[in-house]
Structure 1
Amino acid sequence: MITNDRERKRTRPPSREPSGPARKTSAEEPETSGSGRVPAPQAMRNAARQLSELLGRAPQSVSALKPTDEGWEALVEVVELERVPDTSSVMASYKVVLDPAGQLMAYERARRYTRAEVDREGR
């Protein structure tokens, strides 16, 4: 059966999204605490998402996150070169600096290693 746009609009169920203050914020909208700093889980998501946009690679994990006077600092693990077997893939740890609102201010590659590599003491 072929329908036109007007018929589709009439048959659409009403939106069930909450409105007003009960509405949840999306990943794009920074959710800040009373101090103006995004909470740690939001900072982790922001670090991973924004680094992914810059590098064009999906992060594997956020391995560290700490608050700083200027916002947040995170270490994000990324696969730089996929190899077979998977344990020989080249990984990188990126240091990501976020402002208090969770926006990426700077990043740098801190370390490269193979996925199977285990940290040794003193490193």
Structure 2
Amino acid sequence: MTNTKDTKNTARTQSSPNTPKGGAGNDDDPDGKDDTVTDDRPSPMEVLRQARAQLAELTGMTAESVSSFARTEDGWSLEVEVLELERVPDTMSLMASYEVELDPEGQLTGYRRVRRYERGRADAHRPGGR
């Protein structure tokens, strides 16, 4: 036979709002302090979503994809592919690549168009990868 009398009390103790995440105390930490560091910076996926949304809002054009993405000293740098002019057939639509700069929190600080092309056209092959 199992003892269910203290089940309610045990559940309340485990889910107490004053109990730090991970239980009541940390046996691995000799000083008893919670050394968890919280990082309020956005994740890379959040940065990508924010960049696309902010660029679309500023330009009024649809941000279709992100073709490059890198963390920099000043925040983030992305290259975003944008639909500039929709045509029929779709392969004739006019696309553009925008270089987008964001601060460490993911807020857009600047952008510029670096290339314009038809959706159906591939880049010319350049020997030596340049």
TM over 0.5: same fold?
yes
- Please state how far the C-alpha of 1:120 moved relative to its aligned partner: 2.8
Query: Structure 2: any 5+ residue segments left out of the alignment?
Result: 1-37
TM-score normalised by structure 2 residue count: 0.65
Unaligned stretches of 5+ residues in structure 1: 1-32
Per-residue CA deviation, residues 15-35 of structure 1 (Å, 9 max, x unaligned), is: xxxxxxxxxxxxxxxxxx73x
Q: Does 1:121 align with 2:108?
A: no
Letter in 1 for 2:72: T
Report what 2:83 is aligned to: 79
Who is 2:68 aligned against?
Answer: 64
CA distance in 1, matches of 2:41, 2:76: 9
Q: Which residue of 2 aligns with 1:108?
A: 112
Q: Shift of residue 57 of structure 1?
A: 1.5
TM-score for both structures, normalised by structure 1: 0.68
CA contact under 8 A between 2:64 and 2:82: conserved in structure 1?
yes
Distance 2:101 2:56 in 1: 14
Give distance in 2, aligned partners of 1:83 and 1:65.
Answer: 28
Offset, 1:54? 0.3
Residue 44 of structure 1, CA deviation: 0.5
Q: Cα RMSD between the aligned structures?
A: 1.8
The code of the aligned residue for 1:68 comes to: T
| Equivalence map 1:1-123=2 (5 Å) | 34=39, 37-122=41-126
Partner Cα separation in structure 1 for residue 53 and residue 73 of structure 2: 22
Offset, 1:43: 1.0
